[in-house]
Amino acid sequence: MNAGAADRPLDRRDLKTLALAALGGALEFYDFIIFVYFTATIGQLFFPADTPDWLRQLQAFGLFAAGYLARPLGGVAMAHFGDRGGRKRMFTLSVFLMAVPTLLIGLLPTYASAGYAAPLALLALRILQGAAVGGEVPGAWVFVAEHVPERRVGFACGTLTAGLTLGILLGSLAATAVNKVYAPDEVLAFAWRLPFLAGGACGFFAVFLRRWLAETPVFDALCARRALVRGLPLREVLRGHGGAVALSMLLTWVLTAAIVVVILMTPTLLQKLYGFAPARALAANSLATLALAAGCVAFGALTDRIGAARALLLGCAALAAATYLLYLGAGAVPERLSALYAAAGFCVGVVGVVPAAMVRAFPAAVRFSGVAFAYNLAYAVFGGLTPLAVALMIARVPLAPAHYVAALCALGMAVALYLAGAGRVRAGVAAAL
């Protein structure tokens, strides 16, 4: 973070950096998430025709999950070079590594023409996508946090996170457009490729735009002082910053509960629990995703005003209440679904506090590696376990999604209280010195 000018307002260079970083993040997340909207089609095209439907869907979702499993390895590898060779290089490389496989997916031969080479090639490309997004998210947070003044880090990280969430919305809108414009047989024949081809092309445009970004002042200062970490940055993280890793992993668990349950799982759960038509549930979800983007910016700005601990405490309390209102109100007053879902989506914006807390938890020399390791490992574990846990609980307890989110909000509030106490201790030590 640019501590030397902590109180200055955001200037034109800061705003350009935020805009380009958020745009690139949105395009990269679109490239990563578009796969999930065409899993049924991909299952038909990339596996033998005589494969049972349930197995074909399982295999297609397995390909999607492979991207998540590759995130920790890709994130740690890219973070290593980000701490040793520069943030900008890895920030540009991550979007390039996402654009290439996305474009190639749109050009892949199917099982009918290439046999088992088709799903194997698709698996390799999904792994490469996962590695790219594993470096993109923590790299983007570190990049913008180290560019802006210290007292604007929350707003910067919240704005970047809003860009990432808009990538999910772009994927949903693209899939909806393809399925509205083209008949089902046309989608199978060629139209499923269009969102991937468009995503790859836009990714290369994002690579071009990021060439105009400058290296972070923090990394330049580390180079000038010859203070870059020697050896493996991850070894330094694990040896001297275990507490920061644990704290960051807990915050990531809160983030995954909010995003996975409220934004990704709820449209399907609304159909299953309350009988909402798919079109209505997805329309409400789009509104909630827009509200989420606004909430990320709002909670990020609130972090700069009242601190990460208080913003996290208030946001988690609001999210727990809004999630219960959504699930209780969807059954009691279904005509208010859109308003309830939008309110819950806005409160999910508390995830905008998480990156600001994480980048401040690690010293600059190992910041990229620390954030990447903790975030990607926790997301791989908790992001994979959360849908399973909710699915197992919902069979007995219809309000299980709300209970799960509330439990993780309670964890977030506990972390917030710890952060507040640690902050008071540091302030007391500083005053004594």
Binned at pLDDT 50, 70 and 90, residue 351 comes out as: very high
End-to-end CA distance of the chain: give it in Å, rounded: 23
What pLDDT score does 190 carry?
Answer: 94
Mean pLDDT, the chain, as a whole number?
Answer: 89
pLDDT tens-place string over residues 352-382: 999 999 999 999 999 999 999 999 999 888 8
pLDDT over 90 (residue 424): no
pTM of the model: 0.88
Query: What is the crossing angle of helices 117-145 and 367-394, to 10°?
Result: 120
φ and ψ of 149, to 5 deg? -60, 155
**DSSP string over 347-397:** HHGGGGHHHHHHHHHS-GGGHHHHHHHHHHHHHHHHHHHHHHHHHHHHTT-
From CA 116, how far away is CA 406, in angstroms rounded? 44
Matching residue, tokens 């005053």: 431
Binned at pLDDT 50, 70 and 90, residue 265 comes out as: confident
pLDDT tens-place string over residues 282-305: 889 999 999 999 999 999 999 999
Binned at pLDDT 50, 70 and 90, residue 213 comes out as: confident
Domains and CATH numbers, the chain: 1-228 (1.20.1250.20), 233-433 (1.20.1250.20)
Q: How far is CA 322 from CA 45, 97, 257, 341, 408, in A?
A: 41, 38, 14, 8, 14
pLDDT over 50 (residue 169): yes
pLDDT tens-place string over residues 44-97: 899 888 878 767 767 776 777 777 788 888 899 999 999 988 898 888 888 899
What pLDDT score does 433 carry?
Answer: 44
What pLDDT score does 44 carry?
Answer: 87
What pLDDT score does 5 carry?
Answer: 57
pLDDT tens-place string over residues 9-45: 788 888 888 988 888 888 888 888 888 778 778 888 9
pLDDT > 90 fraction of the chain, expressed in percent and rounded:
56
What pLDDT score does 429 carry?
Answer: 40
pLDDT tens-place string over residues 389-405: 888 888 889 999 999 99
pLDDT tens-place string over residues 116-145: 999 999 999 999 998 998 888 899 999 999
- In this structure, what token pair is assigned to residue 184? 């089902």
Binned at pLDDT 50, 70 and 90, residue 431 comes out as: very low
Q: Count Cβ atoms below 10 Å from residue 324 Cβ, excluding itself.
A: 17
What pLDDT score does 160 carry?
Answer: 94
From CA 215, how far away is CA 141, in angstroms rounded? 14
